[in-house]
Structure 1
Amino acid sequence: MAITITVFRLCSLLIFLSLYPSVSLSDRCNPKDKKVLLQIKKDLNNPYLLASWDPDTDCCTWYSVDCDLKTHRIISLVIKDSTIPDTNFSAQIPPSVGDLPYLESLVFHNLPNLTGSIPPAITKLTHLKSLWIFWTNLSGPVPSFLSQLKNLTFLDLSFNNLTGSIPPSLSELPNLDALHLDRNKLTGSIPDSFGSFKKVPNLYLSHNQLTGTIPASLGKLDFNIIDLSRNKLQGDASILFGSNKTTLMIDLSRNSLTFDLTKVEFPKSLTNLDLNHNNISGSLPAGLTALNLQLFNVSYNRLCGQIPVGGELQSFDIYSYFHNKCLCGSPLPACK
């Protein structure tokens, strides 16, 4: 009799699970996180790209969401339109995103109708490691309160309409690997405090309207990548170079920099160097022949003298050298 009852119970359980396959999954989704996600969806005007956010299903299975495998708390929220942008999507970043306490990664990408400014509620995300808000129409300043997110390793605010100056407090982020503020409408100077990063990030400030000189403090740092191109910077940029550094890429193109290149010593690790469209004078140092250059451009400057022979310098075409004061030698015409 006992065996019969046991078999009956097992059969009943199997039938129950087959009828309600999501019962076991529903326990995975933290109810507080689920409530917040549904509020975010509402605040974003219920866009089509969040159609999978069905309140009757497990939020850990929703598109754009990742849960921790052990705690089942939401650790990643990626709201992006990877195909044709949803023309019906029109909203601002809702303050409700700050109510996901275990979030480590937050992404808003390719959303041309995402407007407004970055909400202070983001500072509640104390576990946040990656913040990506790019290819949107966000405006307003780069908020100084972002410096409160001490666990950030990656901050990308590129391809937006951000204005104003760069907050010096961003240098207080101790774990930053990369800082992208490029392709905005930022003005003012590069903060002197950027020379005090505890961990030197890859620095992307290109395609803005930055003015002034490059702070001398930046010369003390060993950047892996630094891109200051397409701004209105002036003065001496030679401080960024040095034979003792391990820099891979330096892009200073399309500024108004004025310095003598003759005695500049380059990092032996340098593979990409772009100095085009500046007011750089002097001659090309012979040390360039020792570099394994993959990209090189010094066109539209005031350089003179013969292009050193050797290394990769003759592998670049004339467009990497032309429009200089009196530069000559292969690949340009021979010196007279």
Structure 2
Amino acid sequence: MVAMKKSFVIALCNVVVVLHFVGSSTVVQACTPSDRAALLEFRAKLKEPYIGVFDTWKGQYCCNGWYGVSCDPNTHRVAGITLRGESEDPIFQRAKRSGLMIGSISPAICKLTSLSTIIIADWKGISGGIPNCITNLLFLRVVDLVGNRISGVIPANIGRLQRLKVLNFADNQISGGIPTSITRLTSLSHLDLRNNNVTGVIPVDIGRLKMLSRLLLTGNKISGQIPESLTRIYRLGDLELAMNRITGPIPASLGKMSVLATLNLDGNLVSGEIPGTLMTSSISNLNLSGNLIVGQIPNTFGPRSYFTVLDLSKNRLKGPIPASITAASFIGHLDVSHNHLCGKIPAGSPFDRLDATSFAYNDCLCGKPLGNCGK
């Protein structure tokens, strides 16, 4: 009898444990009614009838099985919305032939006060503005709206998002200037505003963004000079400012940045001479094409010079191609066409594998791969 009682107690305990586990699982699945209501209000402003992205947005448990929704397991509050129009997931393979998401980003998203991630990317058809109220979502770490038709301006108080690490508004129709408050985002590592209609200047104190590793502003209408403070961002690896209206000289201190690997100033109004520091720097992809740069190509190449791309074309450079360029450890693509260069093209690498287009439209360059130099 005693043994039977003990067995019953053990079995009862096991049942309690199982029931506790089931109950805990149910709690994990749940989300707050207010977050669920906010998600449905957000969803109401978007139309995506072909792929079925929102087919799973049903029932009470938005933390469990709602596509693209993630929650904090401790608070059961919505922490992330991730909706990508370009995905390897089979659910998106019909998009190219069936249609894409349209609509706008509802201010209801701001009711999700625990959000740390907003990714609504590559749908091509989402329009409207960026809700100003997102600057109240102080837990945000990632805001990625790339590849839509979003217009209007960047919220002026974007600098309130002190935890923000990624801000990506590329490939939209955003206008207005870069808010000065953006320089308060001291945790920001990735800023991408490429291919918009952004105007104005780069904030003069952008150097405050000490964690920034990528600054991508290509394809806008940005004017003014490259701020000197930018060269003090010691983590900066990629600086792309091409196809803007940037003026003034290239700061020589860009060539002293320890990890800068890409510097693209193509298609601006940059003037002055090329700093010699750029030729022996950490930069491996240097594109200065299509500017108003004068003077000579610096004769400062050496064993530390390593370029996958060196494009100096379509400027106002004069004089010879410097002899020291043959001392570079590697030059992959070289283009000095459309300048006023003159003299004999150096022999040896990389010149022995380049074609004539790399040297075309200069005043009087000669030698291989162009014609022989006269006596």
TM bracket (short chain): 0.7 to 0.9
CA contact (8 A) 1:36 1:99 kept: no
The equivalent residue for 1:117 is 153
1:66–1:325 Cα change, 3 Å: farther
Question: Residues 41, 303 of structure 1: CA spacing in aligned structure 2 closer, same or farther, 3 A cutoff?
Answer: same
Provide the C-alpha distance between the structure 2 equivalents of 1:120 and 1:238, rounded to a whole number of angstroms.
Answer: 35
Separation in 2, partners of 1:308, 1:131: 45
For the structure 1 residues 16 and 176, does the alpha-carbon distance in structure 2 shift closer, same or farther, using more than 3 Å as the test? closer
Cα displacement (A) at 1:121: 4.9
User: Which SS does the other structure have where 1:162 is aligned?
Assistant: strand
Instruction: Tell me if 1:294 matches 2:332.
Output: yes
- The match for 1:26 among 26, 29, 36 is 29
Q: 1:58 aligns with which of 36, 59, 62?
A: 62
Deviation larger for 114-123 or 77-86: 77-86
Whether the 8 Å contact between 2:148 and 2:171 is mirrored in structure 1 is yes
Cα displacement string for residues 173-229 of structure 1 (whole angstroms, at most 9, x for unaligned residues): 011111011111112222233233343442110011112222344354343211111
Distance 1:14 1:228, change over 3 A: same
Q: Give the Å deviation of 1:46.
A: 3.0
Larger radius of gyration: 2
Cα separation, 2, equivalents of 1:318 and 1:205: 28
Q: Name the CA distance, whole Å, in 1 between partners of 2:79 and 2:231.
A: 32
- Given the superposition, is the C-alpha separation of residues 301 and 54 from structure 1 closer, same or farther in structure 2, using an over 3 Å criterion? farther
Structural mapping, 1:87-126, within 5 Å: 87-88=102-103, 89-112=126-149, 114-126=150-162
Structure 2: give runs of 5+ residues left out of the alignment.
87-94, 104-125
Rounded to whole Å, the distance in 2 between the matches of 1:171 and 1:39 is 41
Which AA in structure 2 matches 1:107? D
- Which of 359, 366, 369 pairs up with 1:331? 369
CA–CA distance in structure 2, aligned partners of residues 262 and 102 of structure 1:
48
Q: For residue 280 of structure 1, what is the aligned residue in structure 2?
A: 317
Q: In the alignment, what sits opposite 2:231?
A: 195
Query: What does 1:157-236 align with in structure 2 at a 5 Å threshold?
Result: 157-222=193-258, 223-236=260-273
How much has 1:322 moved relative to structure 2? 0.6
1:41 maps to 42
1:81 positional shift: 2.8
How many Å apart are 1:254 and its aligned residue? Answer: 0.6
**Equivalents in 1 of 2:34, 2:239: separation in Å?**
34
Query: CA offset at residue 32 of structure 1?
Result: 9.5
1: distance between equivalents of 2:359 and 2:351? 10
- CA separation in 1, counterparts of 2:233 and 2:34? 34
Map of 1:126-145 to 2, 5 A cutoff? 126-145=162-181
1:156 aligns to 2:192 (yes or no): yes
Q: 1:214 to 1:64 in 2, by over 3 A?
A: farther
Report SS of the residue matched to 1:140. Answer: strand
Q: Deviations over 1:257-304 (max 9, x none)?
A: 102115243642222100110011111122222331221111101111
Cα distance in 2, alignment partners of residues 23 and 201 from structure 1: 46
1:316 and 2:320 correspond: no
Match of residue 114 from structure 2: none
8 Å Cα contact 1:81/1:109 also seen in 2: no
For residues 324 and 63 of structure 1, do their structure 2 counterparts lie closer, same or farther at Cα, with a shift above 3 Å needed?
farther
Alpha-carbon distance between aligned partners in 2 of 1:247 and 1:308, rounded to the nearest angstrom: 23
Normalising to structure 2: TM-score of the pair? 0.75
State the 1:107 CA deviation: 0.6
For residues 27 and 316 of structure 2, the distance between their equivalents in structure 1, rounded to whole angstroms, comes to: 68
Residue matched to 1:249: 285
Please give the alpha-carbon distance, in whole angstroms, between the structure 2 residues aligned to 1:180 and 1:101.
24
Q: Output the CA distance in 1 between the equivalents of 2:42 and 2:363.
A: 59
What is the SS of the residue equivalent to 1:145?
Answer: helix
SS in 1 for 2:314: coil
- The answer to whether the 8 A contact 1:77-1:103 is kept is no
Q: Compute the RMSD of aligned alpha carbons.
A: 3.5
Q: Distance in 2 between matches of 1:109 and 1:81?
A: 10
Structure 2 Cα separation of the partners of residues 123 and 262 of structure 1: 40
